[in-house]
Amino acid sequence: MSIKKKSKLNINSRGGMGGKRSKPDRPSHSGKSDTAVTMIKVVIGLGLIALVISFWSTIGAVFGLGLILLILGITVAIAVFKREAVLEFARKTTFIYWYRWIGAIVLIASIWGLLGIMGSGGAVGNAIINSDTGPGGFVRVTGLFVLALVLMVPAAGWAVTKWLFGGISRPFRVDKNRPGAETAYPAGTPGNRPTLRQAIAPDRQNIERKPAPETAIPASVMVEAEEKPPVEKAAAAKSDKDAREPRDLKQVSQDVWKKYGETATLLTADGWRLPPVEILDYTPEIEYGEADNQERARMIEEALGSYGVEAAVVQINAGPTVTQFGVEPGWDRKVKEIKEKDKDGNPVTKQVETGRTRVKVDRISSLSNDLALALAAPSIRIEAPIPGKSLVGIEVPNTMLGSVSMRSVIETTAFQKLKAKAPLAIALGKGAGGEAVIGDLAKMPHLLIAGATGSGKTVCLNALICCLLMNNTPSDVRFIMVDPKRVELTPYNSMPHLAAPVIVDVDKAIGALKWLAGEMDRRYKTMAEVTARNIDAYNKKPGIEKMPYLVLVIDELADLMMAGFDDVEHLLCRLAQMARAVGIHLVVATQRPSVDVITGLIKANFPTRISFAVTSQVDSRTILDSIGAEKLLGRGDMLYMPTDAAKPKRLQGCYVSDQETERMVYFWNGQHPDANSPMLKVEELASTQANAGGGAAKQRDSLFETAMQLAEESGNISASFLQRKLHIGYPRAARLADEVKEALGQDTDDGGAEVPADDNTLLR
């Protein structure tokens, strides 16, 4: 009984692949046979030693000191075979890393040859060097050594080979000058050198390691990654040091200011100096293992094949967080069996293909969980198809999650080009192929960000704000920041760019929205006076005071919606619809992407959206109108949906540390301390709200004037009448009707009893 139980436990304890097997305890009656086996082994061993001693002169002549190598090699091979089950071993190594074994044999041969040169390699050693102990033999040994290196460790071998022979080929090489993860290998293109692994595994020859830029994302926002600028080791070491021991930030800002602040090139026309890019940390990027990706590509093909789906991985795009495998669907073949007789008259069955159809994309998408299991990945996302390509994208999380520094995106030429023509250029992050993804807030023109708590919304807002602060002075851009959590945006409180101190009170935030709506109307009037159609045209007019862009940043929309649903929704929609032309842009974030916060109206007016990791498919649909965000990994992993893209694009958002933010704030604060005069005081916001209708209790609806006009024209007023004319929901119409009647001195009871024509209108 006890033996049975034990063996059962052992089977379970193997667990996953590679689990160590513990040997079951042998029953005591096997003790005798054990001793016999040991005895036999000892006898055989002694026999072998006696054999070696008696034939020592012959063995020495044939093998020389190489005998030690031979014994060592055989011992290692036996040890490896005995440790693992032979089948598993064969599956794991023979088929995949068989060339490593050949490499090991070649290495032994090269050492043996070296012994031959030294006169102690025996006949075998002499044969390897062809009995030439001079330069000829040395060349043979070196050649064998390089071959062994290339076979055993292809990447290092390739590097050594390049180092040895690089000088000869350098003048003829085409220098693509791109970072590792971004070069494509279209077959036959000069300068696109297949790796050794590709040479060894011909079925992978067509794999592209690096993507062409995706065509579905507009050129303005989606660009191919630029080469990382040469990173001085000192800068990297400095940023490492910064990360380890945060220095006195004031001191840092003063140092930066001393070093770069006086540079004339950074001086703007209005007397401000823009921060140098060195104010941001440079984080060295993680290198991704190509061998791992090739292995995962093979596993994807195998897993799909085991479910009867013919497909081949033809592209691998290694990104900071996920690696995208571009899978080309194969064929579903219909075969017919034909029975024939061969020339000897024996019956044979032949299979003839009668037709074929492409494998359906849905068949691959439906296998996402099975693929995740095969790859031992927490979750995988399938993009079917990749926009602009006839491939299905399988996104597998990397084993090591990388982070994208804002500096690495800002320093790309694409961003620099966009910045030159768009003042509100923002760095968003890097895509699945490591390409920089940037955008122009003025074209977005408003941005809605959603994601569960801890998914990276605040970091994204900080990156966006810092990016604008890098390129714009307070006369170019002013911010209104609403931070109901009181801790996320308050570090910016003393910035000269703020139109009002950071607003933490929701009532004041509603006041700020109203002020912004008023400011929008005022700007339209001012522009109309000089016949300018938009802010760019207005700012180009001679002899006028420049209008700064106004960016409203709200860190938590849900809190505002709770404080005043109707007002906030109405004001946000009004601003989103009309404010773009006058240079007012909204960036709104929420951690509750539910329909009561992101209403249909708000969604319709915020075409550019970003979703970080959310908890459910429903939330993903609410923010993006499609599923997928529930499979994101958090920590800045996002889906970005630009205005004119059909599908969201996955990217890793830029990371901006608290130290960088504070350095930026110190930098700006250090200039013109007297110029810190916000356009709007927080106290004014409170009074804006209170005075809007003669006190909070008597606050009037923004459609009040229109309703009054309608009442005067029609001579009668009722909720359903207002509902029809103003296209508003019943509750608001009833409230409005009451307000109008009150203003006209009528009794307010009669209209309120009306029943809405359609119950659905209540939801509006």
Question: Any known ligand binding at 452?
Answer: yes
Question: Any known ligand binding at 264?
Answer: no
Is residue 661 near ligand ATP by the rule CB under 6 A? no
Among 157, 393, 456, 593, binds ligand ATP (CB under 6 A): 456
Question: Any known ligand binding at 45?
Answer: no
Q: Which helix (H) or strand (E) holds 395?
A: strand 392-397
Angstrom distance (rounded) from CA 412 to CA 646: 26
Burial zone of 212 (CB within 10 Å; 0-12 exposed, 13-18 middle, 19+ buried): middle
Among 459, 467, 553, 719, binds ligand ATP (CB under 6 A): 459
Pick from 571, 572, 604: nearest CA to 587 = 572
Is residue 636 near ligand ATP by the rule CB under 6 A? yes
Among 457, 478, 514, 732, binds ligand ATP (CB under 6 A): 457
User: What are the residues whose beta carbons fall under 8 Å from the beta carbon of 388, sequence distance 6 or more?
Assistant: 214, 215, 216
Alpha helices (H) in 355-505, listed in sequence order: 361-365, 368-375, 406-410, 413-421, 457-471
Binding segment (CB under 6 A) for ligand ATP, from list 54-62, 304-312, 450-458, 504-512: 450-458
Question: Any known ligand binding at 47?
Answer: no
Q: How many residues does the chain have?
A: 764
Q: Based on CB atoms, which residue is closest to ligand ATP, 150 or 554?
A: 554
Helix/strand/coil (H, E, C) string of 316-383? EEECCCEEEEEEEECEEEEEEEEEEECCCCCEEEEEEEEEEEECCHHHHHCCHHHHHHHHCCCCCEEE
Q: Based on CB atoms, which residue is closest to ligand ATP, 459 or 480?
A: 459
Shortest approach of ligand ATP to residue 554 CB, angstroms?
13
Other C-beta atoms closer than 10 Å to the C-beta of 17 total 9
Q: Based on CB atoms, which residue is closest to ligand ATP, 452 or 510?
A: 452
What angle in degrees, to the nearest 10, is found between the helix axes of 135-152 and 154-169?
130
Q: Based on CB atoms, which residue is closest to ligand ATP, 122 or 456?
A: 456
Q: Based on CB atoms, which residue is closest to ligand ATP, 606 or 655?
A: 655
Shortest approach of ligand ATP to residue 559 CB, angstroms?
12
Shortest approach of ligand ATP to residue 246 CB, angstroms?
15
Is residue 453 near ligand ATP by the rule CB under 6 A? yes
Angstrom distance (rounded) from CA 147 to CA 157: 8
Pick from 428, 420, 429: nearest CA to 471 = 420
Among 415, 538, 655, 667, binds ligand ATP (CB under 6 A): 655
Shortest approach of ligand ATP to residue 658 CB, angstroms?
9
Q: Based on CB atoms, which residue is closest to ligand ATP, 147 or 437?
A: 437
Question: Any known ligand binding at 379?
Answer: no
Angstrom distance (rounded) from CA 457 to CA 634: 10
Q: Based on CB atoms, which residue is closest to ligand ATP, 459 or 629?
A: 459
Residue found under tokens 């990371």: 655
Q: What residues numbered 568-597 form the site for ligand ATP, per CB under 6 A?
A: 591
Binding segment (CB under 6 A) for ligand ATP, from list 129-137, 432-440, 457-465, 498-506: 457-465
**C-beta separation of 671 from 411 below 8 A:** no
Question: Any known ligand binding at 670?
Answer: no
Shortest approach of ligand ATP to residue 286 CB, angstroms?
12
Residue found under tokens 């006898």: 43
Phi/psi at 731 (5° precision): -60, -40
Which tokens sit at 345?
A: 């008259």
Shortest approach of ligand ATP to residue 676 CB, angstroms?
27
Q: Based on CB atoms, which residue is closest to ligand ATP, 621 or 635?
A: 635
In the three-class reduction of DSSP (H, G, I as helix; E, B as strand; rest coil), residue 552 is classed as strand
Is residue 620 near ligand ATP by the rule CB under 6 A? no
* DSSP state for residue 273 in the 8-state scheme: B
Shortest approach of ligand ATP to residue 734 CB, angstroms?
36
Binding segment (CB under 6 A) for ligand ATP, from list 238-246, 448-456, 662-670, 709-717: 448-456
Among 458, 475, 611, 723, binds ligand ATP (CB under 6 A): 458
Shortest approach of ligand ATP to residue 239 CB, angstroms?
15
Among 66, 116, 451, 583, binds ligand ATP (CB under 6 A): 451
Pick from 620, 679, 616, 689: nearest CA to 650 = 620
Query: What are the CA-CA distances from residue 105 to residues 69, 111, 147, 151 (Å)?
Result: 10, 10, 11, 10
Q: Based on CB atoms, which residue is closest to ligand ATP, 640 or 655?
A: 655
Alpha helices (H) in 118-181, listed in sequence order: 122-129, 135-152, 154-169
Name the residue type at position 764: R
Shortest approach of ligand ATP to residue 403 CB, angstroms?
4
Binding segment (CB under 6 A) for ligand ATP, from list 65-73, 115-123, 134-142, 449-457: 449-457
Other C-beta atoms closer than 10 Å to the C-beta of 173 total 12
Binding segment (CB under 6 A) for ligand ATP, from list 446-454, 503-511, 685-693, 710-718: 446-454
Q: Based on CB atoms, which residue is closest to ligand ATP, 298 or 635?
A: 635
Binding residues with ligand ATP: total (CB under 6 A): 14
What does the per-residue mask of binding to ligand ATP show for 397-416, with x meaning CB under 6 A?
------x-------------
* DSSP state for residue 475 in the 8-state scheme: T
Angstrom distance (rounded) from CA 563 to CA 697: 15
Shortest approach of ligand ATP to residue 636 CB, angstroms?
2
In the three-class reduction of DSSP (H, G, I as helix; E, B as strand; rest coil), residue 130 is classed as coil
Q: Which helix (H) or strand (E) holds 292?
A: helix 290-306
Q: Based on CB atoms, which residue is closest to ligand ATP, 329 or 636?
A: 636
Beta strands at 447-450 and 608-611: parallel, antiparallel or unpaired: parallel
Binding segment (CB under 6 A) for ligand ATP, from list 24-32, 452-460, 521-529, 748-756: 452-460
Question: Any known ligand binding at 458?
Answer: yes
Q: Based on CB atoms, which residue is closest to ligand ATP, 479 or 655?
A: 655
Q: Which residue is nearest to ligand ATP (CB)?
A: 636
**C-beta separation of 315 from 208 below 8 A:** yes
Shortest approach of ligand ATP to residue 143 CB, angstroms?
47
Angstrom distance (rounded) from CA 84 to CA 308: 30
- Peptide bond between residue 642 and the one before it cis (omega within 30 degrees of 0): no
Is residue 261 near ligand ATP by the rule CB under 6 A? no
Question: Any known ligand binding at 166?
Answer: no
Q: Based on CB atoms, which residue is closest to ligand ATP, 294 or 408?
A: 408
Is the dihedral angle over the CA atoms 631, 635, 637, 638 positive or is it negative?
positive
Binding segment (CB under 6 A) for ligand ATP, from list 40-48, 327-335, 447-455, 751-759: 447-455
Among 455, 473, 608, 661, binds ligand ATP (CB under 6 A): 455
**C-beta separation of 659 from 246 below 8 A:** yes
Helix/strand/coil (H, E, C) string of 573-620? HHHHHHHHHHCEEEEEEECCCCCCCCCHHHHHHCCEEEECCCCCHHHH
Shortest approach of ligand ATP to residue 645 CB, angstroms?
21
Angstrom distance (rounded) from CA 547 to CA 549: 7
Angstrom distance (rounded) from CA 652 to CA 660: 19
Q: Based on CB atoms, which residue is closest to ligand ATP, 450 or 707?
A: 450
Among 454, 600, 694, 752, binds ligand ATP (CB under 6 A): 454
* DSSP state for residue 752 in the 8-state scheme: H
Numbered residues of the known binding site for ATP: 451-458
Numbered residues of the known binding site: 451-458
- Interaction site with ligand ATP (CB under 6 A): 403, 451, 453-459, 591, 635-636, 653, 655
